Amino acid sequence: MGLWKSRLEKEKILIADGGWGTELQKRGLAPGEAPEAWNLSRPEEVGAVARSYVDAGADIILTNTFGGSPPKLAKVGLEGKVMEINRRGAALSKQAAGDRALVFASIGPSGEFMAPLGTISEADMVKGFGEQARALAEGGADGILVETMMDLGEAKAALRAAKESTSLPVAVTLTFNKGPKGYATMMGIRPEQAAAELEKAGAEIVGANCGAGIDVMIELMGLIRSATSLPIWCKPNAGLPELVEGKTIYRETPEMMASKLRSLVKAGASIVGGCCGTTPAHIRAFALERKKLANPA
């Protein structure tokens, strides 16, 4: 049995980490700068973010490799560094995790549309994600999280690539928005459809991340749960971003979000972390709340 699975069986709820982009910005990452470049140029800052989430009580932390696919790195002039950036990103998180937490390495969208909408063929998409996944496994990752996907075809290409290029468990989460006709990704994929198709394609964990605060995530968990019996990974934002005096802010506090952990889990979530705007304080609050749920006073 996978390490993550035995840990989930023991704890019933696993706590994952929170936002990385927002944490790196606090440490000086400039707008428009590629966060993944810091794996090579500012490894101590990247390691500090990873450590802050382990210290907050996360069972699973991610890696600073969200934009580490070849097409995405090519856009910022880092096409020659795919292996190095991803390997280092996994190693930095692994070092911070030690034996306290597991590391699921992050794979985000390529930034390209797959043919026929775009120019990249499915085979090339799989090849690129495969290269990234292999480097993440070499860096010591315990699993892979394909996240923030909008196109089910690309999500499946990344899943297939990770499964073919590594022996790691693979989780896949998409980003859904609430529209007038219900929940769907920007490409029109519904949560129930995504969950069912990803399970069939061999994902070990499915779920949703980004694009929504915690209340919307509770509704989404119910929809996903209706379509799969797999464990569900849930990464709500700390609310939707708001621009106030030129600064992006997120309004959901650690206390507010943690108070909804019970409803989130009841609706189907098994692994709970945070996306944009969530901080180590949010993850600490989730970890404390989990303890309360396990040992009701």
**Contact positions toward Zn ion, by CB under 5 A?**
210, 275-276
* Cβ at position 274, least distance to Zn ion in Å: 9
**Alpha carbon 200 to its chain's center:** 20
* Cβ at position 276, least distance to Zn ion in Å: 3
**Alpha carbon 281 to its chain's center:** 18
* Cβ at position 149, least distance to Zn ion in Å: 12
SS3 163: helix
Nearer to Zn ion among residue 120 and residue 194 (C-beta): 194
* Burial annotation 238-271 (CB, 10 A radius, 16+ → b, else e): bbeeeeeeeeeebebebebbbebbeebbebbbbb
Nearer to Zn ion among residue 58 and residue 275 (C-beta): 275
**And the tokens for 109?**
């969208």
**And the tokens for 176?**
């859904």
Scanning the chain, the segments in alpha helix (DSSP H) are: 3-11, 21-26, 38-41, 43-55, 70-75, 82-97, 122-138, 152-165, 191-200, 214-225, 254-258, 261-266, 280-294
Residues 262, 146: Cα–Cα separation, whole Å? 25
Nearer to Zn ion among residue 165 and residue 278 (C-beta): 278
* Cβ at position 210, least distance to Zn ion in Å: 3
Nearer to Zn ion among residue 101 and residue 276 (C-beta): 276
**Alpha carbon 2 to its chain's center:** 19
* Cβ at position 237, least distance to Zn ion in Å: 5
Nearer to Zn ion among residue 58 and residue 137 (C-beta): 58
* Cβ at position 6, least distance to Zn ion in Å: 29
Nearer to Zn ion among residue 230 and residue 238 (C-beta): 238
Residues 45, 51: Cα–Cα separation, whole Å? 10
Nearer to Zn ion among residue 117 and residue 186 (C-beta): 186
SS3 83: helix
* Cβ at position 219, least distance to Zn ion in Å: 18
* Burial annotation 89-107 (CB, 10 A radius, 16+ → b, else e): bbbbbbebbeeebbbbbbb
Which of 130, 132, 133, 131 is closest to 143 using CA atoms?
Answer: 133
